[in-house]
């Protein structure tokens, strides 16, 4: 084999190895693809939507996150952050109150309009659901956008911050819904 051919092959191997290393680092520490399973976040996300999760973001209220399912082995859930550490949460007459302040939830409008029931979310307080009056340190309270079918913190309680994979930043499938979620 010619020297120039060997150099060309070696150059390609180095380039491919470097690219794979970059992909590994990005996936391990920065971004991770994920697939939505189920209807708990409808209509924001539908079953089989594919999303990109940012692993290095600071989690804020109303962010959509992916986290280790607390009640199912080797699974992830996708939900919306409702309560941060120190928050008091109450739901009265289908209105969310955080720290006694009424919160708007525009992502629920479509579900409320389509619901055959007078209320999308049952009345509850944080203490009713968890036995705690405030979200503990290093914990989050999460709920799905499709409140009638979502299995979330109302059922399994708080989730630890260290179980969070990251924040959903981008939907890349289906193509007609590609973009940044609201």
Question: At residue 13, does pLDDT exceed 80?
Answer: yes
Q: Break the chain into its structural domains and give their ranges.
A: 32-177
DSSP bridge partners of 44? none
Nearest to 75 by CA among 169, 175, 171, 163: 163
DSSP 41: T
Pairing between β-strand 89-92 and β-strand 76-83 as defined by DSSP bridges: unpaired
- Sheet harboring 101-103: ordered strands across? 101-103, 95-98, 89-92, 124-125
Predicted pLDDT at 172: 92
Question: At residue 163, does pLDDT exceed 80?
Answer: yes
What's the average model confidence in pLDDT over 3-7?
Answer: 82
Binned at pLDDT 50, 70 and 90, residue 20 comes out as confident
Q: Rounded CA gap, 16 and 14, in Å?
A: 6
| Marked catalytic residue, from 7, 55, 58, 79 | 79
Check if the beta carbon of residue 46 is closer than 8 Å to that of residue 176: no
CA-to-CA separations, 63 to 9, 58, 80, 126, 133, in angstroms, rounded: 46, 10, 6, 19, 22
Whether 163 sits among the annotated catalytic residues: the reply is: no
Check if the beta carbon of residue 126 is closer than 8 Å to that of residue 90: yes
Which range among 22-26, 77-81, 117-121, 152-156 shows the weakest confidence by mean pLDDT? Answer: 22-26
Predicted pLDDT at 157: 95
Predicted pLDDT at 80: 97
What's the average model confidence in pLDDT over 45-72?
Answer: 94
Sign of CA pseudo-dihedral 134, 140, 145, 146 = negative
CA-to-CA separations, 127 to 100, 130, 145, in angstroms, rounded: 14, 5, 21
Find where tokens 């692993």 sit. Answer: 55
* 33 vs 143, residue with greater confidence: 143
Question: At residue 64, does pLDDT exceed 70?
Answer: yes
* 155 vs 24, residue with greater confidence: 155
| Marked catalytic residue, from 2, 40, 75, 129 | 40
Binned at pLDDT 50, 70 and 90, residue 1 comes out as low
Question: At residue 182, does pLDDT exceed 80?
Answer: no
Whether 40 sits among the annotated catalytic residues: the reply is: yes
Binned at pLDDT 50, 70 and 90, residue 22 comes out as confident
Check if the beta carbon of residue 150 is closer than 8 Å to that of residue 42: no
Binned at pLDDT 50, 70 and 90, residue 45 comes out as very high
* 29 vs 142, residue with greater confidence: 142
CATH no. of 32-177: 2.10.109.10
Binned at pLDDT 50, 70 and 90, residue 155 comes out as very high
């Amino acid at each position: 084999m010619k020297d120039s051919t060997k150099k060309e092959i070696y150059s390609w191997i180095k380039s491919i190895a470097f690219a794979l290393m970059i992909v590994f680092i990005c996936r391990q520490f920065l971004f991770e693809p994920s697939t939505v399973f189920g209807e708990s976040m409808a209509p924001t996300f539908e079953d089989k939507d594919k999303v990109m999760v940012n692993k290095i973001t600071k989690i804020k209220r109303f962010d959509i996150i992916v986290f280790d399912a607390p009640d199912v082995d080797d699974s992830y859930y996708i939900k919306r952050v409702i309560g941060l550490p120190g928050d008091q949460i109450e739901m009265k007459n289908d209105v969310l109150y955080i720290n006694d302040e009424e919160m708007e939830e525009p992502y629920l409008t479509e579900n409320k309009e389509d619901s055959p029931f007078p209320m999308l979310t049952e009345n509850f307080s944080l203490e009713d659901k968890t036995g705690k009056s405030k979200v503990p340190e290093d914990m989050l309270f999460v709920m799905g956008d499709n409140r009638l079918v979502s299995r979330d913190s109302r059922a399994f309680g708080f989730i630890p911050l260290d179980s969070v994979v990251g924040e959903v930043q981008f939907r890349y499938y289906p193509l007609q819904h590609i973009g940044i979620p609201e």
